[in-house]
Each structure stands twice: as C-alpha cells, then as structure tokens.
Amino acid sequence: MHACQTGKHVYVEKPACGTIEEGKAMIRAARDNKICVQVGSQGRSQREAFFAHQYIANGMLGKVHTVKCWHYATPSDDNPVPDSEPPADLDWDLWLGPLPWRPFNQRYLHGVFRWLLESGGGQIRDRGAHVMSNALHFMNADNTGPVTIETKGRVPTRGLWDSAIEMEVTYQFKNPDWTLIWAQPGEMVPYFDRDRLKREGIREGYGAVYYGDKDKLVVWVGDGQVYTETKALEFQKPAGGVDVPKSPRFDHHEDWFEGIKTGRKTIMNIEGGVATANLCVLGNLSLILGRKLHWDPVKREIVGDEAARRLMSRPQRYPYTL
C-alpha cells in the first residue's frame, strides 16, 4: 500500500495478504494509484502451465467440474522450546510488524513462520497460493466464486505451531458451477516420466487434477516448477481456438516489466493474488470456526455469519497499520 501511494510499481510475494481486509486495501491502493502489481505466484508464467491452460481452455477436457489439489501435511512442533531473548541482530518488533506482540521464540523464524496461523497459515497458504493460483487462472475464476467453503481437518495438540496438520477444504463455485478441493495430504499422482523426474528433480508432492466430462489432466507442482501431461504439451491450438495469457519468455518478472511499460494487467495481478489468498484464508477460518462459510465474491465478504465476518480483519499494532 505504501509503495503504491509513492507511485512505485510493486512485485509482492505470495500469499498476497494475511486477511481479507488487507487484500481489499491492496486492491484499492493499486487501482487508485494506477500501479502495476505482480504477485509472486510464478506458476502462472511457467511454460507447461501455459500449455495446460491452453489445453483446458480449448475444451479438451470438456466442461471441467472438479479440480482436486493434493499436498503433503503441515509439520508439527513436536519438540517445543522456551521463549528467549531475540538475537542481537534481529529487530524483533519490526519482524512482528502488525502481528500482536509476543516474546521471541526461535520456533517463529525464519521459514517456520509458515506454520503459525497468524503469520503463515500452514501449507494451504504456502503452496496453496501456488497450486490454487493456477486453478483460478486455468478456470478463468479470478473474479468469480467460491460461494461456499467447508473445511475438515486435524490441528496440533502441542507446541507453538497451530496450523492444521491435515485438512480438506471444499470450495463450491457458481456461474459456472465447479468444485475446487484442497486435500492435504490428499492422493498424490506420481509423475509419469521417471527418468525426467530424476534428471530434473521434479517434485511430485503437490499438484492438481482437473476433471472434465470428457477427460482429465494432471498438473504437477505449481510454482517455479510446473509440469503437465504429454497430451497437453503436444496439443496444437486449432484455427479460431481460444488464446490464453502467456508471459514473455515464460518469465514472471518479464511479464511484470511488460505490464509496467504497456499498462496491461499482469498474469498474476493483485486481484488474482487476493482471490487466491482469500481461498487460503477462508479455508483456515472455516476450520477454526468448525462450520461452512458463505462468501460474496463480488464484495469479497463473508455473508450471514457475524462471528466469521469479524475475522475478516485483525487488530494491528501502531505504526504497522493499514
């Protein structure tokens, strides 16, 4: 927000926002200041993501009715350690930013901040911001549903990390109607080319299957690596077929630079980034509250549940405020 207000174009890492309120504020800041934003879910720019998208958009699966993501579980803090003084070279107050102040604990940082709900949100907000970013992109759904979100899962019973270890979130979209499922751990689909798997170090541990009424397509990984099936790679778009967005040289930063120069929307613009982050936030809120949530995708608000609506934002600490 502050960068937008100074007129600077922004590359912001995923997940775009920690709360629904933050996401709405980011969209306003970019629009009001005419800023080109690229969110770092770089999977949308990858070569094989383009071919998977083109294959789906040209009807090769028929009508896609279900997208099922899989990912391995979130780790648990099985060996908790006591609070302590922060290292001398760490500004602990600045590191916390808008989060509530709390004593330092080495289980908060650096990469493991992902496993706390307030600062990370678990695998769904970490890799879900990649895998589900591609799902929204391929389904042309950055500005549509879901309309309901329902989560079941298993949470830690000890230690500092409180993100769900296992969870399954079901998102129902409308107009068009389709279902997105985040399954953690879910059922992994092995990569088909074992030689390439070893040669290129392909990670099979997360991805998504796109189910249509004619066929299905697997898309593995989803961030700096994206892989899909040979049938999508060999598909030739027919004359008059559907064109899909393509980053220059399949490079996420190049796409951002071109957006800055031309004014066109980036492939992972702030609206898409917030839509993806909201999926992750809503999945966690449904689990915390233990019930189905209803969502207005136009207003970007939870509806019909005042207690849940109060969790669309969180208290902030001065001066780290919206």
Q: Is the confidence at residue 142, as pLDDT, over 90?
A: yes
Q: Is the confidence at residue 193, as pLDDT, over 90?
A: yes
Say which residues have a Cβ less than 8 Å from residue 63's Cβ, sequence separation at least 6: 176, 212, 213
Q: Is the confidence at residue 52, as pLDDT, over 90?
A: yes
Contacts for 310-318: CB closer than 8 Å, 24+ residues apart: 311/285, 312/19, 312/20, 312/21, 313/19, 313/20, 313/21, 313/22, 314/18, 314/19, 314/21, 314/98, 314/118, 315/100, 316/98, 317/96, 317/97, 317/98, 317/99, 317/100, 317/101
- The topology under which CATH files domain 43-245+274-312 is Dihydrodipicolinate Reductase; domain 2 (3.30.360)
What pLDDT band is residue 92 in, cutting at 50, 70 and 90?
Answer: very high
User: In angstroms, rounded to a whole number, what is the distance separating the alpha carbons of residues 65 and 83?
Assistant: 48
pLDDT score at 322: 84
Q: Is the confidence at residue 316, as pLDDT, over 90?
A: no
Mean pLDDT of 179-186: 97
- Lowest-pLDDT choice from 91-100, 212-221, 270-279: 91-100
The string over 251-280, giving b where at least 16 C-beta atoms fall within 10 Å of a residue's C-beta and e elsewhere, is: ebeebbbbbbeeeebbbbbbbbbbbbbbbb
Mean pLDDT of 31-35: 98
Domain regions of the chain by residue span: 43-245+274-312
Burial of 94 (0-12, 13-18, 19+ CB in 10 A): exposed
Q: Is the confidence at residue 212, as pLDDT, over 90?
A: yes
